[in-house]
Every structure is written in C-alpha cells, then in structure tokens.
Structure 1
Amino acid sequence: MTGDNLTSAEQAVLDEIEEKGVDFLRLQFTDILGTVKNVAVPARQAEKAFTEGIYFDGSSIEGFVRIQESDMRLVPDPETFAVLPWRQKDDSAAGRMICDVYDTSTGEPFEGDPRRVLKDAIERAKEMGYEVNFAPEPEFFMFEEDEDGYATTETADHGGYFDVAPKDLASDVRRDIIYGLEEMGFEIEASHHEVARGQYEINFEYDDALSTADNVATFRTVVRAIAAQHDLHATFMPKPIPKINGSGMHTHQSLFTEDGENAFHDEDDEFDLSDTAHSYLAGILEHAPAITAVTNPTVNSYKRLVPGYEAPVYVAWSDRNRSALIRKPAARVPAASR
C-alpha cells in the first residue's frame, strides 16, 4: 500500500498492515463517560481513513451532539496502531487505532471528544513549561458466566489481597491478559489479587498523559476480551457487589520541566514537595467536587465512595493514609516525587 498524501507514520502503518496480514481495523474512540466505542472497517480502507476520515452518527453517542448535528468524522492516530493479540489467526489478523473526533460542520476537532479535552490540557501545561506524566493502577472484577453466557455475581475466586493459588484461581487468566498487553506494547510492572474476592489489579509503567489515557482504554478492552476467552466477565464497574471493596484507579501524577527535572520535588520541604507540587495539590482539592463529576459519572460510583472500604470520602490529602483523596507516597529518589 502506498499513498502520496500520507505522513511517514501513516505509511508505516499501511506497510505493517500488509506485512502482518491485517484484514480488519477497529477504529476506537471514547464517549463522554469513557466507554470505548469502535467501528470496524476492512484494512483496505486504512488509507482513506487517514486522508478523509471515517464518518459516523455522533447523535447516537452518549454526550456528543444532537440529531441535527449528527455527522461526525473519525481520524485515526497512526501512533496508536497495534495488532489485537486475541484476533490473530494463521492467515489473518485484526488491528486497532485510536481516533480523534472531528465536527464535520466546522472541520475542527470536536470539543466534546475526551481525547481532545486532554490534548488541550497537555498543550496548556506545555506552554507553562511542563510535561505531564501519569501512571494508573486500574482495578477490576472477574465474574463467572451462566450457561447462556451472561455475567453472574459469582466471583472467579474467593481470594483476598496478595493471595496466591489455590485461593487466587485467576492467576492464569491474569497471566494471559499480561501477555496480551505486552504484545500491544505495554510495560507491565506488577499484578496481584486485590482486597475483595474476584478483584484484581495490573499496573503498567508511567507515560505522558495522552499515551496513558490511550493505554487505559486499551487496557480495558484487552482485559475484557481475554477474560471472555476464559468464560469470565471482566468489569470495571466501581461497586458491583455491596459490602465489599469496590474498584478504583489510583493515578500517580507528576510534572517534569523541559530539562527533565521533577517539578514536584524539593528536598528542603517536610514532605519533599515543591511549591509547584503544593499548588497542584491544592488545585485538585479546590476542584475536587467538579473533578468527581467527571471521574465518577455513574450512580454506582457513589456506592463505592462510602466509609469502611478504603475509598476516599473526605476532600483531604496525606503522606500516609491510603484512603485519602490524595496521597503523597514515599519518594525513593527525587525523580519519584508525585
């Protein structure tokens, strides 16, 4: 495949599609609630997707546009191309790219696209001289399926925090999930059973904010797909079962200057935090109610935010208490202040 109007990154994707026998592409994006959506196109449409975009009905997507403004366009980011490991067969494979959403009436990026909102925030930080780095710790449950393939509330095991087999019966499933993530370019740091029965956590290495957000969307897709291969239903629902711990996603945050210095570190401070770090922390505390409306958008989210289950219930910060809204973990080296 060759194209005269393609960038080098786009051409590299077309070459990889041909080399790896990719016959279908999933073009993914997220709605206002963070739910991953996608449209599948034959791989031969990849060049058209790059040069013209793929049109879709935005009025059918949660939080996007009204029906009279429904025509929208997906433009894939070639840097996000990956082959889906659970879709590979002897002579064919499926690929994935994450897309930006455009408003066809103006030709401009859609203001309600969560990826666009993040890009704008990253640009503001860059203008201030900072690079934003995130490292998430996503938690999830896996439930057994009934004879019709529907999810039950029977957990995959009855283990607890850091348990091993035979209590942790899903370690083999997590292993397959990790293999799948690594095939898609993830650098996995750790995996373990979480506090609640049937609950797990897999941590991957920090990256810039946009790459991390894309990775979280990919992570959820991979976890669900590979769990389904084991006849299990994976869910990131915050509180699927009452009276046990729910799932959260601790997110390590840091700012680095253009010369690679950690803007959050100051060894003369009681907590090794700079004035910039204190201001950043204060900003999150000040805007916590508004932030929560975005990060916890469902009724079920608030079933998790109750006392007794390690979830935050007060707008507060700490360097020790893991249930605080914000925690400053012990920094082993200056670059680790976060």
Structure 2
Amino acid sequence: MTTGIVPTGLDEHRERNTEGSAVQALKGRIAESGVECVYYQVVTLTGRVVGKVAPATQLVRNVEGGVQLHPALLTDARVDRAGTMLGAGPEAAECTAMPDLDSFGVLPWDTRTAFFFCDLYESGHRPEGIAGRPLTADVRANLRRVHSGFTARTGLELRSGLELETTWLVPGLETAGHEDPVSTIYHVEHMERYRSVYQKVISYGQALGFEMTEGNCDDPGQLELNWMFDHADRTADRLVVHRQICRQVARETGAAVSFMPKRATDRLGNGCHHNISLWRGERNVLVDPGLSELHLTETGRHALGGILSHTAAAAAVMGPTVNSYKRFTDEGHFAPLRVNWGMDNKTCAVRVPAIGRLEFKLPDAMVNPYLSHAVLIAAIEDGLANRTDPGPPEGVGSGEPAGRFTPLPRTLGEALEAFARDRVVAGALGPELTRLYTDLKAEEWERFCCSVTDWEHAMYGRGGC
C-alpha cells in the first residue's frame, strides 16, 4: 500500500485555479475587456483593501502560484505604543494570496484594470504541518468557513442585504441642506443636489453585477444607495466593492466621502443596517403565511433571541471604532439605544418588518462585513440550539426599559471587555483572529484615551477652573 501526501489547502486551491476551462474563460474576458493590469486584493481586519497589482500578461503565473504578501498588512501594519508591530513583525514569513476566480471583476471606470479577491495561505516554504494552511487571520476565508459549517449543521443559509449610509462633501455644497427649516430626509430636491454622485455610484455598481434597488438621502449630504440581498458571503464582498466605488466617484467628482459613524453630535450617524433572512433551499424559514401578529416563525424567534443575547458582545465588531459609540446616544435618532426588538420600530436594535427578515441596526458604516456576518451566524446558531426566547417586542415609541439582555457598551473599551467574555462571539473568529482583533482595537482605544481632544480644550482650556 502506498501512502500519499495529504494535499494542503494551498495545494487544493492551486488545483482549482489550474482547471483548464476556468483559466481559458478568464483569458477570454480579459482579452474582450482589454484588461492590462490586475489587482490581487485582500481585506484587513479593519476592512481596508490591500494587495498587489500585476500586468495581465502574468495572469496564468499568478492564478497558479498566487502572489506573496506580508501578514502584517492584515493589521494595517500598525504598531503598539511600545513600537511592536501587531500580529506579525518584519521578520515574519510572507503568506501566499491565491485569487478566487469567481470574484473576478473589471473596473467600469477603467476597463484596462481588473481585480480578484484572494484567499490567504501559509507559504509553501514554511515547515511541514504549517506550510499551505489557510491563514487564520484571513477574514474573508473565515466567514466562508463559518457559513459553510453553519449550513452543514443546520441545513440553513444566511442571506443578507446591507444599507450603507455615507456622507458626501461636494465642493459648493458644504452647507447645502443645513439651512433647511425642515428635515432633508427623503427630500428629492436634496437628492438632486447630489445627482452627479448617485448616478455614478449606481452606474458603476450595475456594471459590476450589483442589482441596484433604491436609494434616498437622510441628513444633508448623507446618501444611502442599496442593492439586492444575496448569499451573505457575496453580500460582504459587495459592501467592500461598494466602498471602493464610492471612493472612486469621490475622486472623479472632486468630492470627499466619509464612512465615519458619527460626524457631528447633532446629525444622524452613518449606519450599515444588516437585513438578514434564513433559507433552506429556496424557502425563507422566517416566513409563515399563517402568521399575522408577530410575523416570525419559531425558527425566526429563536434566531432573534440568539442575536439579542449576543448583541452587547458583538458591539466590538459591529461598532469597530472609538467614534462608533457616539451613534448610540439620545441624539442618535434612528440608531439603537438599547438591546431590544420591535415590530417595525426604528428605535430598536432589531427591527422586524412584516416581510420575513430581521433588520439588525447596530453595525455602522465602518464595519468589516466578513466579521459582522460571521458573528451574526454564530449568534443565530446559538439561539437556534438553545431555543432562545427574545421576549415580547417593544411597543412603538413606548420608551420602556429593556433589561432582558446585557445593555449596549458605551465605549469601545467596554465593548472589548464584553467581546472577550462571550465565547460564542469570539468563537466566530477563532482564537488567533480574536487575539489579533482584540490587540488591534485595544491599541486603538488606548491611543484615544491618551489623546487630547477639542472637547477638552473647549471645556478646560480657557483659563481656569
């Protein structure tokens, strides 16, 4: 009997990428579009897109062998206050980024350039047992593993649609809308002021395969342009691409675009509501035509209970910045103030419309969608396994306190403490990714706590106590 060598994850990915018809199809698309350069990109823990660019003439070489990247990129090459690089020092071995051929796209604003999302593996030159393993800090691959495991255990698939809010600062419109005596929410005249922006965003999204749906304005300069829901893995990719589209439109129009969760105390925050549903095949298991009052099946109630049980711990992922927690204030308007749920109640952490979905309102515009979806899947599975009761919905505008679940953290520091205590939420990321994310965000919180802010100058800096 002959004992063969067990192929690594890197080996298996290379084998998939070298399948003849797939490579030939890619060559055809590249030739048809006139592509000259290709981005090989990955997403960091903070949601930034990093990678390398290569001439299209190197396609076969890079599809078969990948490109080499330093793992410190996954923590944005940040260093702590002692000067130590987080995650991986300069002496660490490079990792191999293998393109996901299904993610190939051509930039509509310059069809000479295309892109792939990549999966990350330990280099094949590492010691046996390590070489070729999936890199645990790869957030995109982690979501795929979490989602496929959930489907294998439950037979269910998570589908999601995201509502990303962005603030646009267009030259000549810096104060447009701020002087209006009434709200600019859904105001068509205000949308007209930003027509040059939304037309390009919609056009580029459609060119990249997004089924763009509807959009609106909220606060002055704030736009929300949505696309159709899909399998959660694809939705996460599309959020990252949508933010890239927004940055490109900003460059073309001379505008600035901001995903900052809360730009001003008296203005609406930039959220990224996650609208989620659970599917078995082509059936949405949250829907039962016989239900009228709660609009949720038993499965839906348990999924909702799981989400609410872990919302406080998930806040560190859903609100990943120091600024994120400025949304959860009395000035937040449509942002959640408590861990609760309601029937079509926009003040709640989870809103349940009457159409078979849950709208989770905690995430903001700077969320990493691969992490947020992984955490949601883990929370939902825990709710299903424990048949968690979400309790009664909060009445519209009742203002009743909701003490059933752990309250929302008030700062990133509190959120990180809650995150560390919750095995379900941390388990969605795994030990290594959890450690990296916690170190990265703890360093961010510490730097903020040591920084002198404008508020302190205004409060204490004018000559006395």
Q: TM-score under structure 1 normalisation?
A: 0.88
* Correspondence 1:305 to 2:319: no
1:115 to 115, 118, 140: 140
Partner of 2:392: none
Q: For residue 113 of structure 2, what is the amino acid of its counterpart?
A: A
For residues 6-54 of structure 1, give each alpha carbon's deviation from its aligned partner in whole angstroms, at most 9, with x where no partner exists.
3533331222112211001112221111122232111122212211110
After TM superposition, the runs of 4+ consecutive aligned structure 1 residues lying more than 6 A away are none
Residue 139 of structure 1 corresponds to: 165
1:315–1:34 Cα change, 3 Å: same
Aligned-pair CA distance for 1:184: 0.6
Residue of 13, 19, 36 corresponding to 2:26: 13
CA deviation profile, 1:60-119 (whole Å, cap 9, x unmatched)? 43177312434112111111111111123xxxx111111112222421221111111210
1:1-338 to structure 2, matched below 5 A, reads 5-62=18-75, 65-67=87-89, 68-88=91-111, 93-104=112-123, 105=126, 106=130, 107-127=132-152, 128-144=154-170, 154=174, 158=178, 160-165=184-189, 168-194=192-218, 196-258=219-281, 260-266=282-288, 267-268=290-291, 270-309=293-332, 310-331=334-355, 336-338=356-358
Q: Please name the residue that 2:407 is paired with.
A: none
Q: Partners in 2 of 1:280 and 1:4 — Cα distance?
A: 37
Alignment partners' CA distance in 1, 2:222 and 2:299: 36
**Structure (1 or 2) with the larger CA radius of gyration:** 2
**TM-score by structure 2 length?**
0.65
Give the alignment's Cα RMSD to 1 decimal.
2.3
Per-residue CA shift, 1:284-311, capped at 9, x if unaligned?
A: 1111122111121110111122123211
Contact 1:142 1:155 in 2 (8 A): no
Amino acid in the other structure paired with 2:301: H
Structure 1: tracts of 5 or more residues without a match? 147-152
Verify the 8 A CA contact 2:319 2:325 in the aligned structure 1. Answer: yes
- Whole-angstrom distance in 2 between the partners of 1:53 and 1:29: 12
Corresponding residue SS for 2:174: strand
CA–CA separation in structure 1 for the residues paired with 2:331 and 2:270: 14
Alignment partners' CA distance in 1, 2:144 and 2:190: 45
Bigger drift between 219-228 and 36-45 goes to: 36-45
Aligned residues of 1:186 and 1:204 also touching (Cα < 8 A):
yes
Is this contact kept in 2: 1:26–1:94, CA < 8 A? yes
Partners in 2 of 1:140 and 1:244 — Cα distance?
13
Q: Distance in 2 between matches of 1:112 and 1:324?
A: 32
Aligned sequence identity (%):
29
The SS at the match of 1:185 is coil
Aligned length: 320
- Say if 1:157 and 1:168, in contact at 8 Å, map to a contact too: no
CA distance in 1 between counterparts of 2:198 and 2:254 reads 13
Please state whether the residue corresponding to 1:308 is helix, strand or coil.
helix
C-alpha separation between the residues in 2 aligned to 1:186 and 1:166? 25
Higher helix share: 2
Q: CA deviation at 1:248?
A: 0.3
**What is the Cα deviation at residue 241 of structure 1?**
2.4
